[in-house]
A = this chain, B = another copy of it.
Amino acid sequence: MPVPTSPRAPADPLAIFGLLKPHFRALDQFLHGQLEQFEPEIRDMVAYCVDTSGKRLRPALVFFSGWQGEDVVPEPLVKLAAVIEMVHLATLVHDDIMDQADLRRGKPAASRAFGPDTAVLLGDALLAQALHIAAGFPTTAVCRYVSLSTRQVCTGEIMQTLARPDTPRDLRYYRRVIELKTAELFHVSCRLGAHLGESGPEFEAAAGTYGRHLGTGYQIYDDLTDFFGDEAKIGKTLGTDLASGKSTLPLLTLLERLGPADAQQLRREMSEGDTRQIGHRVAQMREFGVFEAVQDAIRSEIDSALRAIAPWSTTPTGRLLGQLADLLTHQATSLRKG
């Protein structure tokens, strides 16, 4: 089956985000409006967490999946985007506790700014408020999907941080983790966006499948940038996933291509979070074709995403989702091998 490609690949792959300016403005307004819903005693801390400088990938998926035209900013889509972004923010606040992260979006992580205990509770409050907004829709559909996918995100994170001796460090486990921790929320963003856009149940399901594959591809891409930085990440410390014991696709692929003794040694480095050999390991990834293999895996997910929405490739929303997939292809192929 030939791989469908988006019919109108723009010269500037980031251009499609320009279309979302009014949508993002409405989203920011909505999120800031939400601050008043929080009790005054914690409002400034919530405002600190709800900054709007993120990539807003999930909101973009919501807006494109429910697209109604360039100058139309449907209020239900804004609300849904806010729900999903707020769930995502809550998980970031909790992730930063675990990863003992210093910075988030250029300023001290909430766990550093307010301490880990308060950050646990702030994340909880954000999550509760996200579901409270979700309960403002006329039906329980948004609540049902978002709460389910939140549970799955948490499960994926638990599986990733689980340090039991019997935790399998294999491809199947990796796939399961990223499906839960990333692909599910992408899936729900697209499916519910399409639902609110009233494009019919067939497109809803197709958009959901698109989202799941795009999310998987995005997570693999993100895992690859831990070893091969893109321009935006020059200066970033490489190998933080290795340091925190995450078995990502680049590492698992390298493991498969090493001789038994060296593989054993790398397994030890992974379980101990030992990054002293990181330069050597990245050189091996380069040498043994790991970089290309992981890029292929990303491409394969993007192809599956595009295939899911191929019947809608000439509709406005299908075109936009296609271009968003192209953007990920562009980012993945512009990673510098070294």
Our pick among B129, B135, B143, B155 for the contact of A125 (Cβ within 8 Å) is B155
Cβ–Cβ < 8 Å partners of A128 in chain B:
127, 147-148, 150-151, 154
Q: Mark A143-168, 1 if CB is under 8 A from B, else 0.
A: 11001101110110111011100000
Name A90's closest neighbour in chain B (CB-CB). B124
Say if the beta carbon of A117 comes within 8 Å of chain B: yes
Q: Which of A78-99 contact B (CB under 8 A)?
A: 90-91, 94, 97-98
A45 to B158, CA, bound (A): 10
Chain A interface size, under 10 / 10 to 19 / 20 to 34 / 35 or more = 35 or more
Residues 89-112 of A, flagged 1 when their CB comes within 8 A of B and 0 if not, give 011001001100000000000000
A118 part of interface (Cβ distance < 8 Å): yes
Query: Beyond A120-B94, A137-B140, is A131–B158 a contact (Cβ under 8 Å)?
Result: no
State how many copies of this chain the complex holds: 2
Q: Which chain B residues lie closer than 8 Å to A124 at the CB level?
A: 90-91, 94, 123-124, 127, 150, 154
Instruction: Report whether A161 and B98 are in contact in the complex, using a CB–CB cutoff of 8 Å.
Output: no
- What's the Cα separation between A7 and B268 when bound, in Å? 70
The one of B90, B121, B180 that contacts A158, using a Cβ cutoff of 8 Å? B121
Kindly state the separation between the CA atoms of A33 and B162 in the bound complex, as whole angstroms.
24
Extra inter-chain contacts (13) besides given A91-B124, A125-B154, A138-B140, CB under 8 Å:
A39-B180, A42-B158, A117-B161, A120-B123, A121-B154, A121-B157, A122-B158, A124-B127, A124-B154, A125-B151, A131-B131, A131-B150, A132-B147
